[in-house]
Structure 1
Amino acid sequence: MRRDTDLVDNVCNELFWDLEVDNNAIAVSAEARTVTLRGIVGGLREMRPGEES
Protein backbone atom coordinates (compact mmCIF):
# COMPACT_ATOMS: atom_id res chain seq x y z
CA MET A 1 0.00 0.00 0.00
CA ARG A 2 1.38 3.39 -0.94
CA ARG A 3 1.45 6.34 1.40
CA ASP A 4 -0.20 9.56 0.30
CA THR A 5 3.17 11.32 0.12
CA ASP A 6 4.45 8.63 -2.25
CA LEU A 7 1.40 9.11 -4.47
CA VAL A 8 1.93 12.88 -4.58
CA ASP A 9 5.61 12.40 -5.45
CA ASN A 10 4.79 9.93 -8.23
CA VAL A 11 2.12 12.13 -9.79
CA CYS A 12 4.36 15.21 -9.60
CA ASN A 13 7.15 13.27 -11.31
CA GLU A 14 4.82 12.16 -14.10
CA LEU A 15 3.57 15.70 -14.62
CA PHE A 16 7.14 17.04 -14.66
CA TRP A 17 8.11 14.80 -17.57
CA ASP A 18 4.90 15.35 -19.56
CA LEU A 19 5.73 18.07 -22.07
CA GLU A 20 2.03 18.74 -22.81
CA VAL A 21 1.33 19.91 -19.25
CA ASP A 22 2.63 22.93 -17.34
CA ASN A 23 3.41 21.10 -14.10
CA ASN A 24 3.97 24.40 -12.27
CA ALA A 25 0.31 25.32 -12.78
CA ILE A 26 -1.02 22.16 -11.11
CA ALA A 27 -1.12 21.47 -7.37
CA VAL A 28 -1.18 17.82 -6.36
CA SER A 29 -2.53 16.52 -3.06
CA ALA A 30 -3.57 13.14 -1.69
CA GLU A 31 -5.70 11.99 1.19
CA ALA A 32 -6.66 8.40 1.98
CA ARG A 33 -5.01 7.27 -1.28
CA THR A 34 -7.18 9.64 -3.37
CA VAL A 35 -5.17 12.05 -5.49
CA THR A 36 -6.52 15.51 -6.32
CA LEU A 37 -5.15 17.79 -9.02
CA ARG A 38 -5.96 21.51 -8.79
CA GLY A 39 -5.05 24.30 -11.10
CA ILE A 40 -5.78 25.96 -14.40
CA VAL A 41 -4.76 24.42 -17.69
CA GLY A 42 -4.77 25.96 -21.14
CA GLY A 43 -7.46 23.62 -22.43
CA LEU A 44 -8.72 20.09 -22.79
CA ARG A 45 -5.46 19.01 -24.43
CA GLU A 46 -3.58 19.71 -21.16
CA MET A 47 -6.30 18.26 -18.92
CA ARG A 48 -6.39 14.75 -20.42
CA PRO A 49 -2.79 13.70 -19.65
CA GLY A 50 -3.25 14.80 -16.04
CA GLU A 51 -6.36 12.70 -15.70
CA GLU A 52 -4.59 9.64 -17.10
CA SER A 53 -1.52 9.82 -14.84
Structure 2
Amino acid sequence: MSMVKCTSCNAPLAERGATEFKCPECAELIRRCARCRHQSIPYACQKCGFQGP
Protein backbone atom coordinates (compact mmCIF):
# COMPACT_ATOMS: atom_id res chain seq x y z
CA MET A 1 0.00 0.00 0.00
CA SER A 2 1.53 3.33 -1.02
CA MET A 3 1.26 6.33 1.26
CA VAL A 4 -0.09 9.64 -0.07
CA LYS A 5 2.65 12.30 0.09
CA CYS A 6 2.98 16.06 -0.30
CA THR A 7 3.96 17.20 -3.80
CA SER A 8 6.34 19.84 -2.35
CA CYS A 9 8.17 18.12 0.51
CA ASN A 10 7.23 14.45 0.12
CA ALA A 11 5.89 14.27 3.71
CA PRO A 12 3.02 11.85 4.41
CA LEU A 13 -0.39 13.56 4.35
CA ALA A 14 -1.71 12.34 7.65
CA GLU A 15 -2.32 15.61 9.54
CA ARG A 16 -5.16 18.08 9.48
CA GLY A 17 -4.90 20.94 7.05
CA ALA A 18 -3.60 18.89 4.13
CA THR A 19 -5.33 19.27 0.79
CA GLU A 20 -5.41 17.89 -2.72
CA PHE A 21 -6.55 19.56 -5.92
CA LYS A 22 -6.23 19.20 -9.66
CA CYS A 23 -3.42 20.97 -11.52
CA PRO A 24 -4.87 23.98 -13.38
CA GLU A 25 -2.97 22.99 -16.54
CA CYS A 26 -3.36 19.21 -16.87
CA ALA A 27 -5.71 18.04 -14.06
CA GLU A 28 -3.01 15.85 -12.43
CA LEU A 29 -3.68 15.54 -8.68
CA ILE A 30 -1.50 17.83 -6.52
CA ARG A 31 -1.26 17.16 -2.80
CA ARG A 32 -0.08 19.66 -0.17
CA CYS A 33 0.67 19.18 3.52
CA ALA A 34 -0.44 21.80 6.04
CA ARG A 35 3.12 23.09 6.60
CA CYS A 36 3.78 23.71 2.89
CA ARG A 37 0.37 25.36 2.47
CA HIS A 38 0.81 27.71 5.44
CA GLN A 39 4.39 28.65 4.46
CA SER A 40 3.53 29.00 0.75
CA ILE A 41 6.24 26.54 -0.25
CA PRO A 42 6.34 26.31 -4.08
CA TYR A 43 5.15 23.17 -5.83
CA ALA A 44 5.51 21.83 -9.35
CA CYS A 45 3.17 19.43 -11.12
CA GLN A 46 5.07 16.22 -11.83
CA LYS A 47 3.21 15.69 -15.09
CA CYS A 48 3.30 19.07 -16.89
CA GLY A 49 5.69 21.19 -14.75
CA PHE A 50 3.12 23.86 -13.77
CA GLN A 51 4.43 25.76 -10.73
CA GLY A 52 2.45 27.42 -8.00
CA PRO A 53 2.70 28.87 -4.51
Using the size of structure 1 for normalisation, the TM-score is 0.31
Q: Which has the higher helix share?
A: 1
